[in-house]
C-alpha cells in the first residue's frame, strides 16, 4: 500500500498491507523509514484527543482510522501549523476560558437523577481533539467564533442542575457564538465521540431566547422587524 | 516570578488537583506538561474512583481500609491508607460539587460498582469514561481559577542549591517542544506529578505512550529516593493484539474469563495480581484466554461499557455482544515511585510528588482498582497544600541558575545504534523476564542486557536535527529515562527474593516475612 502525507512537501510512503490503524502506520514510518516525521499521539485508544488529523479531506483520529491504499493525510485546518501533522491547539482551547466553560461555583447538595445525568452525558465525552474546529466553515472565516467544542462545553455546564449562574454564560455566547453558527452540521459528522455541537448550539439558542435574546441576523439583515414569513412585524 | 511560587510538572489528575489546592492556599501556581492537560494518562482511567458511600450496597470506610491493606500484602503505610480511605467520600463529594458527570442511581445518588478485591460496590463511575470526565472537569476548574498551564514542554532537570549542607529547590529546566528552546522556571517549591513508567514494557502496556517515568528519573537525579520499583501491576484484561485496556468493570459486572476450552479457571473478581498470575499460568499451558461478557446483554454493555464495545470492534474486529474477547495481561500501573513523607515531600526540601510517579505507600505490593483516581485527588491535595505552605514560609531568594546541559550533551552522541530497535527489545525482554513471573536467572540476564544498553547510550541518538517539534528527540529523552528506570526495577526485583503481590518469583514462590519492608533506592543505586 501507499499513503501520502502533507508535510512541508507532499511525501509518499510505501507501507505493508494490512488491517491497521493510521497511527500504527505513522509509528512504523517514524521508526523504520523516516525519524523526522512529526505527529502527536498518546493513548492510542481514542480518549486523549492527540492524534486528530485529516484523511482524504475528512477529520479522523489516527488511532481510530483504518488505513486504505492511497490515503492522503494532512494536518487539521483552521489552526496554526507547528510541523508536519502537529498543530497548535492553544487558541482553540482558549475559547473554553473565553466562554467561561466551567461551573461557576461549587455546588452543595444538588442531587442529579438518571434523567439529569442523560442531559449532558454525551457532551461530557468530549476529548477536545479539535476535529470540529477544523471542519467548521464559520470558524474558517471568523477566527473569533467561539466554535463547536467550546459551545458544547458551555451547554454541558448550563444544562447541569449544579450550575448556579447560567445567565453569565448565555450572555457571553451571544457575540461570535450561537447565532454565528450556520447549523451546517459539519462538526457532528466529524466528531469521533458522536457529539453534535450543532444540536447543542440549537439548545443554547433556545436558552438564549428564554433569556430574552434573539437572532441578531433577523434584526440586521432584514432591515429590522420582519417575521419568519417575511411580513413586517411591529 | 513572585516569591511564593509553586511549580507543578505534570497536568494529569494529581497535578491539576495540586494546582487548585496550592492556589487556594494563596500560592502563585504554574503548571507545565509535556502534552496538553487533557491528554494526560488520567483520561484513560475507566473503572472508577473508590469511596465507601454505600450507594449501591452496604459499605464502610473500615471495609475500604481492610480491602486496601489486604491487597497491599503487608507493605503499606496503615496511616496513609487510613487517610486515603477516610478522605475518599469527601474527595468524591468535591468532584461532584465541581461538575463531574458521574453515572447516577435511581435514587439520584452517584452510581457505584464492584471492582476486584473490593467487598462492596465502591467504585464511583461515569460510564467507562471516569478518568476522562474527572480530568476534563479539573482542567475546566483550573481555567476558572486562572491557573497558568504551559503545554508541550519536556521536563529535563530540577535545579537545587546547597545551603548548610541541605539542598533546596531553585527551579526546573524544560525543553519547549514547539520551539526547541530551553526554558528555566524558578520556583520556591516544586511538585512532580508526571505519572508512572509502565511504558518501560513498550507495547506490552495499557498506558499512553507518554508514561515513560520522566519525572521519577529527574527527581532522582536531584537527590530524591525511589521505592518499591519492582511492584508493577499487570492488568488482566488488555486486548490481545493492541494491549488496549478492557476495564475491570467488565468483570465487576459479571464477565467471565475463559480458556480455549471455554472453561473458567479463576475467581474473576480477585485482585489483579492473582487474576493475572492465574492467566499467566493458563497461557503457559498453551491456552488462549478470553473475556466473555456476552451474557450481560447489549443494552447493559451499551449503557455501562460503551467504550469497551467500541475498542473491541476497532482493534480486534469483533463485537463483545456476540463474540469472546481475546485478552492478555500487560503492564498497567507502577506501584513504586518517588519516596514521599506524610506531607508528600521527598527527602529534598521543597520537592514534592503526587500521583502515580510518587509512592505514598498506599498500594503496597498490589493496587486495588479504583484507588488510583482516588490517590490523585487525596494526595494531589496534600501535595498542593504542603508545597504552597512551603513556598509561603520559605524566605530563600529566588535565583537564576545555569541552564540544563542535557540537550547539549546529545550533540556528541554518534547515532550508530537505532534506539527505536532497543526500545522494542527492552519491552520484549521486560515482558518475558520481568513480567508477571520472574526468576533470578531471567532478571540477571535482563540486568546485564540493560547495563549494556546503558553503556551504549552515547552510540544512540537522534537523526532529526530540527529544533521545531522534534519528537525523535523527545522519544530519545524518554527512552533514556525508561532505560535508567528499568535498571532500578531490576535491582529492586533481584533484591526481593520472595513473592508478594504483583512481584512473583517462581524461584521463591512464597511470601517471606523477612522481606516485609520497602525496597528503597537512592541516586547512587544503593538498595536498602
Q: Which residues, 6+ apart, have CB-to-CB distance to B292 below 8 Å? A: B255, B256, B257, B258, B324, B325
Q: Could you identify the residue written with the cell 510505501?
A: A14
CB B120 within 8 A of CB B59: yes
Is the minimum CB–CB distance between B93 and chain A shorter than 8 Å? no
Q: Which residues, 6+ apart, have CB-to-CB distance to B248 below 8 Å? A: B47, B115, B116, B235, B236, B237, B272, B369
Looking at CA atoms only, how far is residue B202 from chain A in angstroms?
Answer: 13
Looking at CA atoms only, how far is residue A232 from chain B in angstroms?
Answer: 44
- Share of residues in chain B with pLDDT > 70 (%): 99
What is the structure's pLDDT at B1? 52
With cut-offs at 50, 70 and 90, classify the pLDDT of residue A25. very high
CB A125 within 8 A of CB A64: no
Is the minimum CB–CB distance between B472 and chain A shorter than 8 Å? yes
Q: Kindly state the average pLDDT of the residues A78-84.
A: 98
Strands A52-55 and A72-74: antiparallel
What is the structure's pLDDT at A219? 64
Q: How far apart are CA A92 and CA A73, in angstroms?
A: 21
Asked whether the beta carbons of residue A30 and residue B208 sit closer than 8 angstroms, the reply is: no
Looking at CA atoms only, how far is residue A205 from chain B in angstroms?
Answer: 22
- Share of residues in chain A with pLDDT > 70 (%): 93
CB B226 within 8 A of CB B216: yes
Instruction: Give this complex's ipTM.
Output: 0.95
Q: Kindly state the average pLDDT of the residues B26-54.
A: 97
Asked whether the beta carbons of residue A112 and residue B469 sit closer than 8 angstroms, the reply is: no
Q: How far apart are CA B407 and CA B175, in angstroms?
A: 9
Helix B13-24 vs helix B371-393: crossing angle, to nearest 10: 40
Is the minimum CB–CB distance between B310 and chain A shorter than 8 Å? yes
Q: What is the DSSP string of A82-136?
A: EETTEE--HHHHHHHHHTT-S-SS---S----HHHHHHHTTGGG-----HHHHH-
Q: Kindly state the average pLDDT of the residues B338-359.
A: 97
What is the structure's pLDDT at B128? 87
* B201-250 pLDDT tens trace: 999 999 999 999 999 999 999 999 999 999 999 999 999 999 999 988 88
Q: How far apart are CA A78 and CA A82, in angstroms?
A: 13
| Residue B438 designated active-site | no
| C-alpha distances out from residue B94 to A184, B20, B26, B41, Å | 39, 12, 19, 21
Q: Which residues, 6+ apart, have CB-to-CB distance to B291 below 8 Å? A: B237, B246, B250, B251, B255, B256, B257, B258, B320, B324, B325, B327
The residue of B56, B245, B471 whose CB has the most chain A CBs within 10 angstroms, and thus the best one to mutate to test that interface, is: B471
Q: Which chain A residue lies closest to B107 (C-alpha atoms)?
A: A113
- Exactly one of B141, B153, B225, B272 is catalytic; name it: B272
What is the structure's pLDDT at B257? 97
Is the minimum CB–CB distance between B322 and chain A shorter than 8 Å? no
Q: Which of A161-170, B276-285, B300-309 is predicted with the least confidence, judged by mean pLDDT?
A: B300-309
What is the structure's pLDDT at A220? 59
Is the minimum CB–CB distance between B140 and chain A shorter than 8 Å? yes
Asked whether the beta carbons of residue A46 and residue B311 sit closer than 8 angstroms, the reply is: yes
Asked whether the beta carbons of residue B101 and residue A127 sit closer than 8 angstroms, the reply is: no
Is the minimum CB–CB distance between B516 and chain A shorter than 8 Å? no
Count Cβ neighbours within 10 Å for each residue of A208-227 and write b for 16 or more, e otherwise.
beeeebeeeebeeeeeeeee
What is the structure's pLDDT at A227? 46
Asked whether the beta carbons of residue B470 and residue A102 sit closer than 8 angstroms, the reply is: no
What is the structure's pLDDT at B3? 65
pLDDT value at B56 more than 70: yes
Which alpha helices (H) appear in B435-470, and where do they start and end? 440-456
With cut-offs at 50, 70 and 90, classify the pLDDT of residue B397. confident
Which alpha helices (H) appear in B150-305, and where do they start and end? 214-221, 249-252, 272-284, 298-304
Q: Which residues, 6+ apart, have CB-to-CB distance to B67 below 8 Å? A: B117, B118, B119, B368
Q: Which chain B residue lies closest to A90 (C-alpha atoms)?
A: B151
CA-atom Rg of chain B in angstroms: 22
pLDDT value at A122 more than 80: yes
Q: Kindly state the average pLDDT of the residues B425-430.
A: 97
What is the structure's pLDDT at B105? 97
Q: What is the DSSP string of B31-84?
A: EE-SS-GGGSGGGG--S-EE----SSS---HHHHHHHHHHHHTT-S-HHHHHHH
- As beta bridge partners, residue B233 has B333
pLDDT value at A232 more than 90: no
Q: Which chain A residue lies closest to B146 (C-alpha atoms)?
A: A97
| C-alpha distances out from residue A132 to A49, A195, B319, Å | 12, 10, 28
Residue A152 host element (H or E): helix A148-158
With cut-offs at 50, 70 and 90, classify the pLDDT of residue A234. very low
Cα–Cα nearest to B344, from B17, B3, B2:
B17
Cα–Cα nearest to A49, from A133, A112, A113, A107:
A133
* A183-213 pLDDT tens trace: 999 999 999 999 999 999 999 999 999 999 9
Q: Kindly state the average pLDDT of the residues A227-232.
A: 48
Looking at CA atoms only, how far is residue A221 from chain B in angstroms?
Answer: 36
Q: Grid coordinates standing for B305?
A: 461499557
CA dihedral B458, B464, B466, B472 (to 10 degrees): -80
Looking at CA atoms only, how far is residue B468 from chain A in angstroms?
Answer: 7
pLDDT value at B161 more than 90: no
The residue of B10, B99, B203, B426 whose CB has the most chain A CBs within 10 angstroms, and thus the best one to mutate to test that interface, is: B99
The residue of B32, B35, B94, B108 whose CB has the most chain A CBs within 10 angstroms, and thus the best one to mutate to test that interface, is: B108
Asked whether the beta carbons of residue B178 and residue A126 sit closer than 8 angstroms, the reply is: no
Q: Which of B108, B126, B210 sits opposite A42 (nearest CB)?
A: B210
Q: How far apart are CA B189 and CA B171, in angstroms?
A: 8
Q: Kindly state the average pLDDT of the residues B31-47.
A: 97
Is the minimum CB–CB distance between B457 and chain A shorter than 8 Å? no
Amino acid at each position: 500500500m501507499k499513503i501520502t502525507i502533507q508535510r512541508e512537501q507532499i511525501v509518499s510512503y510505501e507501507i505493508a498491507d494490512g488491517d491497521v490503524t493510521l497511527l500504527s502506520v505513522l509509528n512504523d514510518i517514524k521508526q523504520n523509514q523516516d525519524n523526522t516525521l512529526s505527529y502527536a499521539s498518546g493513548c492510542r485508544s481514542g480518549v486523549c484527543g492527540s492524534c486528530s488529523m485529516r484523511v482524504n479531506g475528512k477529520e479522523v483520529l489516527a488511532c481510530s482510522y483504518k488505513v486504505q491504499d492511497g490515503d492522503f493525510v494532512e494536518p487539521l485546518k483552521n489552526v496554526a501549523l507547528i510541523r508536519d501533522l502537529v498543530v497548535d491547539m492553544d487558541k482553540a482551547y482558549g475559547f473554553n476560558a473565553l466562554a467561561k466553560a466551567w461551573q461557576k461555583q461549587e455546588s452543595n447538595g444538588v442531587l442529579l437523577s438518571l434523567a439529569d445525568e442523560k442531559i449532558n452525558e454525551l457532551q461530557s465525552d468530549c476529548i477536545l481533539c479539535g476535529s470540529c474546529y477544523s471542519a467548521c466553515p464559520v470558524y474558517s472565516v471568523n477566527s473569533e467564533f467561539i466554535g463547536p467544542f467550546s459551545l458544547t462545553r458551555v451547554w454541558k455546564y448550563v444544562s447541569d442542575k449544579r450550575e448556579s449562574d447560567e445567565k453569565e454564560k448565555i450572555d457571553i455566547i451571544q457575540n461570535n457564538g450561537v447565532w454565528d453558527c450556520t447549523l451546517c452540521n459539519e462538526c457532528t459528522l466529524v466528531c469521533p465521540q458522536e457529539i453534535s455541537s450543532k444540536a447543542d448550539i440549537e439548545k443554547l439558542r433556545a436558552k438564549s431566547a428564554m433569556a430574552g435574546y434573539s437572532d441578531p441576523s433577523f434584526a440586521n439583515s432584514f432591515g429590522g422587524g420582519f417575521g419568519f414569513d417575511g411580513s413586517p412585524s411591529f | 516570578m513572585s516569591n511564593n511560587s509553586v511549580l507543578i510538572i505534570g497536568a494529569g489528575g494529581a497535578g491539576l488537583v495540586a494546582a487548585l489546592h496550592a492556589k487556594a492556599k494563596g500560592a502563585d501556581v504554574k503548571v507545565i506538561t509535556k502534552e496538553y492537560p487533557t491528554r494526560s494518562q488520567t483520561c484513560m482511567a475507566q473503572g472508577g474512583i473508590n469511596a465507601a458511600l454505600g450507594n449501591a450496597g452496604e459499605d464502610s470506610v473500615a471495609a475500604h481500609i481492610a480491602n486496601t491493606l489486604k491487597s497491599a500484602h503487608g507493605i503499606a503505610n496503615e496511616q496513609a491508607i487510613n487517610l486515603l480511605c477516610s478522605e475518599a467520600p469527601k474527595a468524591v463529594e468535591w468532584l461532584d460539587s465541581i461538575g463531574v458527570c458521574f453515572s447516577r442511581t435511581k435514587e439520584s445518588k452517584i452510581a457505584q460498582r464492584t471492582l476486584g478485591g473490593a467487598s462492596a460496590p465502591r467504585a464511583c463511575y461515569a460510564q467507562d469514561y471516569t478518568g476522562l470526565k474527572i480530568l476534563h472537569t479539573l482542567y475546566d476548574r483550573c481555567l476558572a481559577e486562572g491557573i497558568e498551564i504551559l503545554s508541550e514542554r519536556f521536563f529535563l532537570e530540577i535545579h537545587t542549591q546547597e545551603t548548610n549542607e541541605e539542598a533546596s529547590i531553585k527551579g526546573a529546566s524544560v525543553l519547549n517542544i514547539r520551539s526547541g528552546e530551553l526554558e528555566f522556571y524558578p520556583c520556591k517549591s516544586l511538585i512532580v506529578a508526571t505519572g508512572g513508567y509502565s511504558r518501560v514494557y513498550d507495547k506490552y502496556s495499557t498506558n499512553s505512550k507518554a508514561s515513560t517515568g520522566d519525572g521519577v528519573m529527574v527527581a532522582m537525579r536531584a537527590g530524591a529516593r525511589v521505592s518499591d520499583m519492582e511492584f508493577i501491576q499487570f492488568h488482566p484484561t488488555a486486548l490481545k493484539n493492541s494491549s488496549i485496556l478492557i476495564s475491570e468493570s467488565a468483570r465487576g459486572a459479571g464477565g467471565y474469563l475463559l480458556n480455549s476450552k471455554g472453561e473458567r479457571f479463576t475467581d474473576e473478581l480477585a485482585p489483579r495480581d492473582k487474576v493475572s498470575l492465574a492467566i499467566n499460568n493458563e497461557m503457559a499451558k498453551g491456552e488462549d484466554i478470553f473475556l466473555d461478557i456476552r451474557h450481560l446483554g447489549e443494552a447493559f454493555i451499551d449503557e455501562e461499557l460503551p467504550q469497551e464495545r467500541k475498542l473491541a470492534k476497532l482493534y480486534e474486529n469483533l463485537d463483545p455482544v456476540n463474540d469472546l474477547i481475546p485478552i492478555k495481561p500487560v503492564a498497567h500501573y507502577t506501584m513504586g515511585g518517588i519516596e514521599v513523607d506524610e506531607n508528600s515531600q521527598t527527602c529534598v526540601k521543597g520537592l514534592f510528588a503526587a500521583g502515580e510517579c510518587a509512592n505514598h505507600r498506599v498500594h503496597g505490593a498490589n493496587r486495588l482498582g479504583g484507588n488510583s483516581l482516588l490517590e490523585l485527588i487525596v494526595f494531589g491535595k496534600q501535595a498542593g497544600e504542603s508545597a504552597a505552605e512551603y513556598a509561603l514560609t520559605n524566605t530563600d531568594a529566588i535565583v537564576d541558575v545555569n541552564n540544563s546541559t542535557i540537550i547539549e550533551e546529545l550533540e556528541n552522541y554518534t547515532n550508530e545504534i537505532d534506539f527505536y530497535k532497543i526500545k522494542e527489545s527492552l519491552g520484549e525482554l521486560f515482558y518475558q523476564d520481568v513480567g508477571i513471573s520472574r526468576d533470578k536467572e531471567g532478571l540477571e540476564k535482563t540486568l546485564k542486557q540493560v547495563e549494556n544498553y546503558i553503556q551504549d547510550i552515547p552510540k544512540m541518538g537522534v537523526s532529526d536535527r530540527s529544533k521545531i517539534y522534534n519528537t525523535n528527540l523527545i522519544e530519545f529523552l524518554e527512552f533514556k529515562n525508561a532505560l535508567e528506570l528499568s535498571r532500578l526495577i531490576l535491582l529492586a526485583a533481584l533484591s526481593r527474593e520472595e513473592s508478594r503481590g504483583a512481584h512473583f518469583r517462581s524461584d521463591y514462590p512464597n511470601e517471606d516475612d523477612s522481606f516485609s519492608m520497602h525496597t528503597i533506592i537512592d541516586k547512587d543505586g544503593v538498595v536498602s
